[in-house]
């Protein structure tokens, strides 16, 4: 009888303890999003996972910044505000553009140094096709071998480029308006697409929702057995996860 019970337990879907809250843009304690300060605070507070955005300069330097154009959260009298990051070299940004907290826009390498020793999940969202510098950087720190590093993107072309180089790396396709990812093992949906979570769970996909910030929304995501929840309200998400 005991063997039968154990068999059925193994067949049951993932429980809440397997679910994870992810700090959106490393946002915690109201720090400036995608900043070294935010990443440092997230690590210090022991978050289970954090997500940061990656864009590439004209010469291939990976920067931690969300928008395609310089402007949001940016200051600096000589900063080329309004210009697309992909059209600027790193030297045109370095020493000219600063975040609201006074930091320079961080590079991925600077973020990796802050993350040294961090054992949680690291979600790297590619906003464009990865540059050769991105590949060499992750290889030099062994991150392409780290099972806790997940690389996600809305752009299938970016993920295809990644898989050409590293077939073993966990990639995750994001969807905003319509659900995509039938041929991807890992998918992430905008919170408005949560009705599709049960279907993709039946297809044995690892699935997440973003950006879920309200208590009601987080509880709904937990009940749907969402594997990861990307949120600006990490403390709330973590508390609700522990309470279920």
3-class SS string, 50-74: EEEEEEECCCCCEEECCCCECCCCE
Mean pLDDT score, 157-168: 94
Contact predicate 171/163, CB 8 Å:
yes
Domains, the chain, with CATH or none: 14-56+109-243 (3.20.20.190)
Element (H, E) at 175: strand 171-175
Q: Give residue-wise pLDDT tens across range 2-35.
A: 443 333 333 333 333 479 999 999 998 889 999 9
Q: What is d(CA 96, CA 75) in angstroms, rounded to the nearest whole number? A: 8
Mean pLDDT score, 50-64: 98
Q: What is d(CA 48, CA 52) in angstroms, rounded to the nearest whole number? A: 14
Q: Give residue-wise pLDDT tens across range 185-234.
A: 999 999 999 999 999 999 999 999 999 999 999 999 999 999 999 999 99
Distances (CA, A) of 184 to 145, 170, 207: 19, 10, 10
């Amino acid at each position: 009888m005991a063997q039968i019970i154990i068999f059925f337990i193994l067949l049951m879907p993932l429980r809440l303890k397997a679910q994870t809250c992810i700090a959106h843009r490393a946002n915690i304690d109201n720090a400036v999003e995608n900043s070294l300060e935010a990443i440092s605070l997230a690590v210090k507070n022991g978050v289970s996972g954090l997500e940061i955005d990656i864009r590439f300069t004209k010469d291939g330097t990976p920067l931690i910044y969300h928008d395609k154009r310089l402007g949001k959260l940016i200051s600096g009298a000589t900063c080329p505000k309004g210009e697309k990051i992909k059209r600027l070299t790193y030297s045109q940004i370095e020493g000219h553009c600063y975040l609201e907290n006074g930091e320079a826009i961080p590079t991925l390498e600077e973020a990796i140094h802050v993350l040294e020793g961090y054992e949680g999940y690291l979600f790297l969202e590619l906003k464009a096709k990865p540059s050769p510098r991105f590949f060499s950087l992750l290889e030099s720190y062994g991150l392409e071998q780290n099972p806790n590093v997940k690389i996600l993107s809305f752009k299938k072309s970016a993920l295809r480029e990644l898989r050409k180089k590293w077939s073993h790396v966990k990639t995750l396709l994001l969807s905003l308006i319509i659900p995509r990812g039938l041929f991807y093992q890992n998918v992430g949906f905008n919170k408005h697409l949560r009705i599709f979570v049960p279907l993709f769970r039946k297809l044995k996909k690892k699935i997440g929702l973003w950006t879920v910030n309200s208590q009601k929304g987080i509880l709904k995501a937990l009940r749907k057995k969402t594997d990861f929840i990307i949120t600006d309200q990490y403390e709330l998400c973590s508390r609700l996860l522990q309470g279920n």
